[in-house]
Amino acid sequence: MAKASLSVNEVRDMMLAAADRIIESEPILTDADRALGDGDHGVGMERGMNAVKEALAGKDFPSAGKVFVAVGTAMMSSMGGASGAIFGILFRSGGKAMGDATEFTAAGLASLLREGTDQVMTKGAKPGDKTMVDALFPAAEKAAEVSGEPITDALGAVAAAAAAGRDASENMIATMGRAKTLGENSLGKPDAGAVSVAIILAAMSDFAAGL
Amino acid sequence: MKKLINNPLKCADELLEGLVEAYNGECRHVGTRSIVKNNIPEGKVSLLIGGGSGHEPIYHGLVGRNLADGAACGDIFAAPPPNIVLEATEAVNRGKGVLYLYGNYAGDVLNFDIGAELASDDDIEVRTVLIWDDVCSAPPTQKHNRRGIAGLVPIVKLVGAASQKLGTLAELEAVAKKAVLQTRSVGVSMSPGSIPATGKPTFNIDEDKIGLGMGIHGEPGVGEIPMATADDLTVMMLDLIFDDYEKDDEVAALASGDEILLVVNSLGATTMMELLIALRKAKAVLTERGIKTYDVLIGDFVTCQEMSGISFSITRLDDELKQYWDMPCQSVCYSKMEGHYGG
């Protein structure tokens, strides 16, 4: 059933569900990264999401944005690697951009993804470079389009946009990160970071839809 | 894969505990995952290195006497997060600033840069010099995009020695830049290492193929070539290094009379027997060109678990760098006495 917004505790539980989904997906992420990188993305994401669970479970937060800031801090300080820093920047800057709102609406989702994506892109990646930005950027664009919709509908649309972005990354040549030295050999496989972004947004959407 | 570990997710922490024991009081464990030399004198310009674990004995094995003051250690094959970079920075700082010297990987750069920002909030001055010696990872015109591999060993040794002598961060930065600019490496791999946490190989390669330009994290190389003899492979790898010095406008070509440090590194599983066979040929090639080996470093310095492969690194010395090379040093990764072998 469509819901206009989520409460702070629902946001927390949604991110706990996203953490569990990533932990379950470790083998998928490991395989995706082995094809193009050094194969440590799955383990790193698993470590980051275990830290997220520790930071969120049973805790109260003053705003929806603070939940995402806590997600980013936990990932940044536990994961290391490029992914830890980038996911940290995404959720910390995006969460701060949401202000003090205690309801998580489609407009809040749009702020989260716009600011988070912009800040990630200041580190050099742009759409088409075969990085997580290829899932994030279309998700942020879609979120802006649907910012007046109920949150459940908006999350569904955004998750679909991220999944399409992940699929599109298969046909890109890596120019950033460790896969960049592969050149055209990186064709045909999705970027592991884009896979992670798509999984997180899908889990968020599924959780909200089940409320 | 039979692997002598306990909890696969605790490898980085447990190896660091062991490393501290290997240092036997020379270094200590600090914070979440940093290793720091004891008794760093007040007023010293500090040298901080670091990177992912799992490549032992680097980087954290290069903390020691006349070497680095500390290392920020990541998990297995992962850059250290910013909070670890910060804790290490604070622990090595003696008021004259901290030079960050590490391999050029996206993850390391992102995390060390955030760490440097946090350190500047604490009024600690930080400068960064990236190590990018792997000639197969980008052409000479884009060498700042290259990865750092085994050339880091002579570079850290030289800069560590310089950090004992130089009074300012700017002077130390200049020596580090010079050492990086004069260092080139080429690596190959014959079989993958494994990720301790998953037990999976880091990449796949056919039995009869060699991955040319393979990264130390097991990133697939820039190309695969048929398996070759030690002599043929050595000639091919050194030619890539010579070519690179020649094509790079910022450095002179390696010429007769030049004095170099030669590193012959095993990526883990390649034996000393194989390294020595390769060194024998390398020395013949260098001698033919009139290039003098001032010192040879041979062994497993920069590894990727049980990955098999070899890399050659060359650092060209001038009088200033030679003076820093001649200083003795001691650490788990590399130790030498004053001067040089045969000198």
Whether residue B33 lies inside any domain: the answer is yes
Residue B234 lies in a domain: yes
Q: Which of B111, B218, B219 sits opposite A84 (nearest CB)?
A: B111
Angle between helices A106-121 and A151-168 (to 10 degrees): 30
What are phi and psi for residue B127, nearest 5 degrees? -125, 155
The answer on B53 and B21 residing in a single domain is yes
- B237 & B288 share domain: yes
DSSP string, A137-203: HHHHHHHHHTTTS-HHHHHHHHHHHHHHHHHHGGGS---SSGGGGGGGGGTTS--HHHHHHHHHHHH
B233 and B145 co-located in one domain: no
- Asked about B217 being catalytic, the answer comes back as yes
What confidence tens digit (pLDDT) does each residue in A121-138 have?
998 889 999 999 999 999
What are A180's two structure tokens?
């960049």
- Which residues on chain A are in Cβ contact (under 8 Å) with B78? 40, 44, 79-81, 84
Q: Is the pLDDT of residue A167 over 90?
A: yes
A30, A77, A123 ranked by CB distance to B198: nearest:
A30
pLDDT classification of A181: cutoffs 50, 70, 90: low
Catalytic residue among B29, B144, B217, B340: B217
Residues of chain A with Cβ-Cβ distance to B219 below 8 Å are 37-38, 178-179, 181-182
- The domain tally of chain B equals 2
- Determine the pLDDT at residue B311: 97
Q: Please tell me the predicted confidence (pLDDT) of residue A202.
A: 98
User: H helices then E strands: how many in chain A?
Assistant: 9, 2
Residue B81 lies in a domain: yes
| CATH number of the domain residue B25 falls in | 3.40.50.10440
Residues B85 and B74 in one domain: yes
Residue B331 lies in a domain: no
Residue B123 lies inside a defined structural domain of this protein: yes
Query: Does residue B163 sit in the same domain as residue B213?
Result: no
The low-confidence residues of chain B, meaning pLDDT below 50, are none
Query: A185 falls in which pLDDT band (50, 70, 90)?
Result: confident
pLDDT confidence of residue B217:
73
Please, what is the angle between helix A151-168 and helix A133-145, to 10°?
150
pLDDT at A188: 82
Distances (CA, A) of A124 to A108, A129, A168: 25, 10, 19
Residues B187 and B175 in one domain: no
**Average pLDDT over every residue of A168-183:** 76
Residues B38 and B161 in one domain: yes
The whole-number average pLDDT for the span A163-180 is 84
Residue to test with chain B: of A29, A30, A41, A43, most B Cβ within 10 A: A43
Domain that holds residue B68: 9-181
pLDDT at A178 over 60: no
Q: Is the pLDDT of residue A38 over 80?
A: no
Global pTM reads 0.88
Look at residue A110 in the predicted model and tell me its pLDDT.
98
Residues of chain B positioned with their CB less than 8 A from the CB of A85: 79, 81-82, 107, 110-111, 114
Tokens of B182: 């004069």
B336 is a domain residue: no
Residue B83 lies in a domain: yes
Q: Give me the CATH code for the A6-209 domain, please.
A: 1.25.40.340
What are the tokens at B252? 């002179």
Q: Tell me: do B45 and B149 sit in the same domain.
A: yes
Q: Average pLDDT for residues A96-107, to the nearest whole number?
A: 97
Considering the domain architecture, whether residues B122 and B269 belong to the same structural domain is answered as no
Q: Which residues of B touch A77 (CB under 8 A)?
A: 81-83
User: Tokens 């760098």 — which residue?
Assistant: B321
- Name the residue facing B107 among A78, A81, A181 (closest C-beta): A81
* CATH number of residue B315's parent domain: 3.30.1180.20
For residues B150 and A156, give the distance between their C-alpha atoms in angstroms, rounded to a whole number. 48
- Residue of B75, B104, B143 to mutate for A, most A C-beta atoms under 10 A: B75
Considering the domain architecture, whether residues B302 and B239 belong to the same structural domain is answered as: yes
In a domain, B64, yes or no: yes
User: Cα–Cα distances in Å, from A76 out to A80, A83, B154?
Assistant: 6, 8, 32
Give the start-to-end residue ranges of the domains of chain A.
6-209
For residue A46, pLDDT beyond 90: yes
pLDDT at position B34: 98
ipTM: 0.73
